[in-house]
Homo-oligomer: A and B are copies of this chain.
Amino acid sequence: MAPSDDLDNLPTPPACIADFCLIPLGTPTASVSKEVAEVQRLLKKSGLEYSMHSAGTTVEGSWDDVMKVIGQCHSMLHQNGIVRIQSDIRVGSRTDKTQGFRDKVEAVEKLLKEDQTSL
Contacts and interface: CB of A to CB of B under 8 A. Distances in A.
A75 B42 contact: no
A83 B30 contact: yes
Interface of A: 3-4, 6-7, 10-13, 16-17, 19, 21, 23-34, 36-37, 40-42, 45-47, 51-56, 58, 63-64, 67-68, 71-72, 74-76, 78, 83-96, 101-102, 104-105, 107-108, 111-112, 115
Copies of this protein in the complex: 4
Contacts of A41: 112, 115
Interface of A is mostly: mixed
A36 B25 CA distance: 14
Nearest to A10: B72
Contacts of A93: 74, 78, 84-85
Nearest to A32: B25
Contact of A28 (B26, B68, B102, B105): B26
